[in-house]
Each structure stands twice: as structure tokens, then as C-alpha cells.
Structure 1
């Protein structure tokens, strides 16, 4: 369920009995048997000795075989393919018994990321999963209790689970649920404590490190049917404005040395009594640079079925745009506009799409005190013919200044507004609501100024979001450009 086979996290404990301690039950049994024996001897009463015999013999019989090793705990996750938002996730917390005696009681507990909603949990081989739930767990399909909702109900994985483990065997606590949001989400850490020798000995808690589950962003439907502003590669699906071999007719001209005979337009040649050939435009690929503005975050993320924050919209839109253009044979690169200035080099193909999804899992909003423009746009790091799609919430003035600088430099820039449309004003008293409305007006003014600088700003809306903008940019690409260095 996590793309490549997920690693297993296993506890490494020394094989010694130092981790085992007596339980209060052992102390009570020894104390009671000792008191009865002492009282029987001092008072000369045989009946007290007879009463002490079962406690002494039972304790000795239970301790005849003491455990010598601690249990082993490890976590595994499914590997049935890439896991996407909204998909089913599965994991297992395993407890192994390397000893030669049975573990009478095993208590297992594991932490799980809140973005992995575990709905079913139980030990393998114990029947239906719901049969292994703790006593306080609600039955499957039961409505949430009063004052709670399905989204806030406590996960069943947060509760302890109890089972037994035979000698030289292992049991698996299987967890199954649904992934709610993209990212790297941990399953674990997990821990277990074991009681043996009839409950007279208990091990110390054994823990294992968490295992990360990779959840890729769900690709929103996106199509852009308009031509690229300036195709720069040698082959591809876009019609270039340069003459060459292709399928787009550019006109008819007089035959010249080097022209192929299959290009001869016989109808025009017979009418003009001179050989003419059909001129075509070359089909070329394009480079698309997706710039992610990570200087600020806004909105509340509700997962795949809830509201989307700025980062949610940014990551999902990036995945959709990359999938579309990579499917058409174009080259796609990713750049973060922030203090980290992470960059993914331009490439094409299926492997690049998987690399894009992996790269997006580490996108985080980071505030910065300095201007990251020079760090992001270094010399020779951005092709002059590339289409730059900037995903930005326009919450920072530096983002608007960056867009204006790119436009003045003659780049083909499209700004995609990722600010949530349902962003609510703060509920604080005083001037908070008035300040929010003034900020909204100031932001609209900034967007208007960007459009005056030649930067189209469009809100992301899935399929067809960029068609009109790309049409305008492609039209501007045919006009002479005056760029500043």
C-alpha cells in the first residue's frame, strides 16, 4: 500500500532475563504462604501448614520454567501498490515470542497518525476483527456517541489490545483503515508488555520505532488543450512556430533543394506550373516549471473529504499539472519558493511522475525572514522558453514581487491562486473582522496590479482552469518581447 516495499521496524533486545520482574501476585503468594507456614510452626497447627501448601506448590510449579528472553515487536505495512488519498491502508504490529515457554498475556498498543483513520483492528486468526476490540470499543457500524462526530471519534488503534503468544511463535495485530491526507504518516511507535509463569512474572515494556506510510496526493482532473507559449524541445505533442517536420500545416511555398517529394503539393504545382511543397510546423515538447510558494499556510485541512488548505490545493494541483504535461511528453520541473529552495530537475516520462509524487510528500510551509528570489532563481536555473506556473496564495508581498520580476524578465508566467475560497474571517472581538476585510481589499488590489504587469492570475478549479490563461499567454508569445536582465 505504500509504493515500494515498506521497511519493517523490529525491536532489538538482549537475550537475558534482566528485563523480567515479579508481579504483585507473586509477592502476595509468597507472603501468604510464608505467613501460614510460620504461623503453623509457631502455633503447632498442622491445618495452617496444609493451607500454605497449595500456595507454595502452585508458585513453585508456575516458576518451574522462567522466561529468559524479552518479546520482540516490529511493524510492517502493506505493499500492494502506491497509496493515494482516500485509499485503504493496512499495517500490522507483530509480537514475537523467541522463548521456549508460552506468554500467558500480551498487551499491545500502538500510535497511529491522525491522518490514518484506523477503523478495524484485531489479531490475525482470532475471528472477525471486531471480536478483538477492547471492551469499551463501540460495535462496528454504531453511530457516534452524543457530542462526537465520525471525524473526531477516537481511533480504535489508540487502545490497548490483549492476546497470548505460544512459544516460538508470533501474533499480528492487524490495522485497517483509510488514508485521509497526503504526506508521510507514521504507524507507531508500538510497545508490548508480557506476563508469563501464570502471571507471576512480567516483562518491561518493549518498544519499536515507527514506520512511515507514504500517501500520495489525489490527482484532480486537469486538462489544458491550448498550445504552449514556446515549445523548445525536439519532439513532442505541441505545435511549434518553427518550420520543420510535423503535422500542422504552415502554408505552401516553392520547392527548394532538400525538400522531400512526399511534401509536393501537386494541385498547386499544376496550377502554378512550378513545383510547390506544403510547409509544416515542427512538433516539439515544452518545459513546464511548477513553482510552489511555501512561504505561508492558510485554511484548515480536512483531509480528502473535507476542506483544503493552501498546501493541500498546492500539492494536489501540482500533481495534476505534472501528470497532464508528462503524459503529453513534456518535461516538468518543480521549484519551492521558500527558504529551503528545493528543486527537482526537469525530466519527462513515467519515472519523472513518480519522482514528482515522492518529492511532493516533503512539501512544508516555512516562513523566511529574507527574500528567497536570488536563492531560487540563480543563474541559468530557469529556461527562457519555459512556462512557469506559480502556485501561490499571495499572502506575502514577496510573492507578488517575485511574479512581477519574472514578468519584467520576459518569462511566460501564469499565477494560480491557491487561497481557499471559503476562508472565514477571525471571530475575535474588536477590529479583527474589519482588518480582515481591509486585507481582502488590499489583496484584490495587488492581484489587479499583477495583471497590469502582464501576469495572469486565475483560481485553481480543476479541469480547464488554465485554458483561457494559456491561450492569452500563447498569443502574447507571438509578439516581440523586451526583457530586462
Structure 2
């Protein structure tokens, strides 16, 4: 616990200060004992009882000579840095004393998300540690004194276990003043959201891209232009640059020849997240991964890879919300993608979201569409087939956990699970027959072979009608 000056403006909710302080049981007992001794001394004519009541009366009057005018203030400050799954979490619950009267005791207590494991809590130089549960540290009450016009901090340190926006709080505090004769009502502050970004799994893909349509980038197109890929040697023509002259060929042919190159183009990558269903149980960054965990982490890794290469990346949700993120490039787009992924939620819907997601002029004809789907809903397979029939370059990434355990219920549950597995394998085979490659996400190199096949199909001649 570190004492610091109270900020000039801190808002706290609650009733007016006059109704925020109540007498404690100690004040009631002191008044009752003083009154009984005085009454008994007067009725019995005993001066010793009056003398015995004098310390209680004087002590109570001295303690209440100054009364608090305002309630304590509580606020929460979280870690504003780039916190990733498995990173160190730092949060602070602060109790401020804006009054001119010192708080004898301040009791602080805070709730915290189960995905934020608090391992150490420090207050007034004391440290409590626990690696089993966050509640063992964060949700226990802590007591300390608060000086006049100052603030004290309850520092929480731990580990962020899973991506998302996790609450720290609400936090509450009650203080006692006037030597424990007055206590404030519980002052509760709103929780603070801590942003935990997904941990990007290592991912690398080949340079093969179906069609590179931009003006600049790292992919080689089939169009001649300024680039680094050699396309051949041709006769010098007006407009060619002198630095392109191939002097060996020119001296041998006794005519100027230049080296022709292919232009470098960027590509548009659309990462489509199927959020119609969720399966598996999330165990955090070091445990088992659910469908949503695999989807979000794979999307972050794919976006980071292609944005690093200078490509345009956009995000789409296949679900009732139909959220979109416009295509862009650069580090700013990567940070926007991470913020966008924090809001991903699995939502079931009885309606077909295809027309809502893929409206007119949403997808470019040359874009590579990477669909992250567990293939738990028939509408997902139908969506993939419709994209393939429309001429899009589609790659389906299976995000269903490979170690998904069958149900342990009695009866026909295990048989039904096997039948569902067979039906799902048949559906995947039908998608491959329709030209939709389906590959399981496995980190680095997961999409290399599939991207080569898609790029080979894109460059193959098509039969005209």
C-alpha cells in the first residue's frame, strides 16, 4: 500500500455525505454505559459512579469533536499496455481520503474475472500470495489506515489466462473514523475492463497468392512492370530505363536488350470467422482450446502474417451480428484487428446469415477468403459451397479441436457421436469435391500446400462458354 495525494477530481456514486455515515456498535455501547452510570449515580447518590462515567463521556465527546464531511473515494486502474495471453497483469484498487479527517481503518475488497489469475496482492507492505484461485487473493478483504488528503493502493499482480475484455471489480470500501465510533456506508465503484489480446500462434505461408491485384506489395504478378522477378530479356524499346539494359546480351546480339521483370502486387485477404457454434472447453493459454479460442488465435496469426507482408486484410463474421472490418494495411490495421477480435462471441441464430454477411460489393473478386469454421452447422457448409460456386478463392480451416471428447452419458450418446463424426467427414468430402479445400489448423505451414493448389487453379486457363 503506497500513500499518494488524492487526485483533484474523483467521482463517486451514492447518497449525500450526511446520510453516508452511521454510528457503530461501539458508539451505542459507550452512550448506553455512560447513561446507565449517570442515572445510577444520581438515583443512588453515589459520586463514584458519576466519576466512573466521566471517562466514557469525555472520550466519546473527544472522538466526535471532528466528524467526516465526505465519503471515501474508490477507483480502479488497469494495465493500459499491450497485454497478451500469458502476460503479466497489473491492476490497482485505490482508496482516496478527500476529507481533513484521517481514516482509522479502511477495508477494501474487489472482485476479479476468473480469467485473470491474481498471484500476489500488496497492501501496506504486506503481501498475500496464492497460485490456486484468484478469489483466494483478490476477493479477500484488506484493511489499512488512510492518511488525511491522501490515497492508498491495493496492487494486484498476476497472469492473464485468456483473451478478451475481463473485468477487474467492482471494488468496494468501508472506512471507520472517530476511533471506530462512525463508519461509512459501502462505496462501490464500477469495474474496469482489462484488454487481453490473443496470443498469435506461429504461422508462415508460402508466397503463392491466387491473384495479386494491388499496385504495390510483395507478391509477384503475371503483369510486366517494375519488380524484382525476372520475366525474360527483350529488345530495347522507347521508355525503358537504362539501368535495365543487359549488356551481355546486347554485345552478343549487337542490339540493345533490356531485362524484363514482373510487377510486385499486393493481395486482399478476407478472414471469415464462423461464430454460429461453439464446442470444447477453454482452458486458457496453457490449457485446452475451444473452437472460439482456435478461431481467434488463428485469425490473429493470419492477419499478422499478411499485414507484415504489406497485403490488405479484412475481417468478417458469419453470424447474426455480421460484423465487418474494412480492408487496410499496416500496423494500425493489425492493432485494429486485435481490438476487433476481442468482441468475437459465438451466437446461434435460426436464420440464414449469408445474405446479411455477403451483401453486394462486399468481397472482391480477386480476394483470398480464409474461412475459420468448426463445420458444426450445415449452413456453414452451404456458405462455403456458395462461395466456391461464385468463383471466389476459398480456403476452409477446420477449427474443431482434434481431441474433442465424446459424451460420457449413458444410452446412445456415444453412438450418436460416432454417427455425427461420420456425417461431418462426409460433408467435408463433399466440400472438397466442390473445390473447397479443407485443412486443419496446425500453426506454421498449415496452409502452404492448400495455397499452392489455389494459386495453381487461379492461373489455369478457364473454359469459356
- Does the pair score TM above 0.5? yes
Report matched runs for 1:27-176 at 5 Å: 27-79=28-80, 81-123=81-123, 126-127=124-125, 129-130=126-127, 133=128, 140=129, 150-152=131-133, 154-176=135-157
Residues 483 and 231 from structure 1, CA distance in 2 versus in 1: closer, same or farther, beyond 3 angstroms? farther
Residues in 1 aligned to 2:186 and 2:23: alpha-carbon distance in whole angstroms: 14
Counterpart residue number, 1:305: 286
Q: CA deviation at 1:170?
A: 1.1
Residue matched to 1:469: 450
Output the CA distance in 1 between the equivalents of 2:84 and 2:449. 30
Aligned-pair Cα RMSD in Å: 1.9
Asked if residue 334 in structure 1 is aligned to residue 315 in structure 2, the reply is yes
Aligned to 1:455: 436
For the residue of structure 1 that corresponds to 2:406, the secondary structure is: coil
Change (3 A) 1:98 1:154: closer
Contact 2:112 2:134 in 1 (8 A): no
- State the secondary structure of the residue aligned to 1:157: coil
* Residue-by-residue CA offset, 1:202-251 (whole Å, 9 max, x unaligned): 11111111111111111111111232111000111001112222111222
Could you give the per-residue CA deviations for residues 100-122 of structure 1, whole angstroms, max 9, x where no partner exists? 11111111111111111111112
Is residue 207–residue 219 contact of structure 2 (8 Å, CA) maintained in 1? no
Alpha-carbon distance between aligned partners in 2 of 1:412 and 1:334, rounded to the nearest angstrom: 16
Native 8 Å contact 1:10 1:75 kept in 2: no
**1:214 lines up with 2:186 in the alignment:** no
Q: Which runs of 5+ in 2 are unaligned?
A: 1-8
Which residue does 1:322 correspond to in 2? 303
Q: How many residues align?
A: 457
| CA distance in 2: counterparts of 1:397 and 1:293, whole angstroms | 12
Q: Deviations over 1:15-58 (max 9, x none)?
A: 63321111111111111111111111111122222222222221
How far apart are the structure 1 equivalents of 2:463 and 2:33?
Answer: 97
Query: Quick one: distance in 2 between partners of 1:275 and 1:101?
Result: 93
Looking at structure 2, the residues matched to 388 and 446 of structure 1 have their Cα atoms a distance apart, in angstroms, of 20
**Deviation of the 1:9 alpha carbon:** 8.0
**Mapping 1:417-428, distance limit 5 Å:** 417-428=398-409
Partner-residue secondary structure (3-state), 1:158 = coil
8 Å Cα contact 2:198-2:338 kept in structure 1 = yes
**d(CA) in 2 for partners of 1:482 and 1:24?**
92
Pair 1:18–1:483, CA change in 2 (3 A)? farther
CA displacement, residues 384-429 of structure 1 (integer Å, 9 cap, x when unaligned): 0000000000011000111111111111111111111111111111
Kept after mapping to 1: 8 A contact 2:439/2:447: yes
Contact 1:9-1:210 at 8 Å conserved across structures: no
User: How far, CA to CA, are the matches of 1:103 and 1:222 in structure 2?
Assistant: 55
Structure 1 residue matching 2:143: 3-state secondary structure? strand
CA distance in 1, matches of 2:174, 2:405: 47
Aligned pairs for 1:233-248 (under 5 A) are 233-248=214-229
**Map of 1:327-476 to 2, 5 A cutoff?**
327-476=308-457
**Structure 2 CA distance for partners of 1:44 and 1:28, relative to 1, 3 Å:** same
**SS at 1:164 equivalent:** strand
Give the whole-Å Cα distance in 1 for the aligned partners of 2:136 and 2:298. Answer: 30
* Cα offset, 1:258, TM superposition: 3.2
Greater CA drift, 70-79 or 468-477: 70-79
Structure-1-length-normalised TM-score: 0.90
TM-score, normalised by the number of residues in structure 2: 0.94
Q: Distance in 1 between matches of 2:339 and 2:108?
A: 32
Contact 1:109 1:192 in 2 (8 A): yes
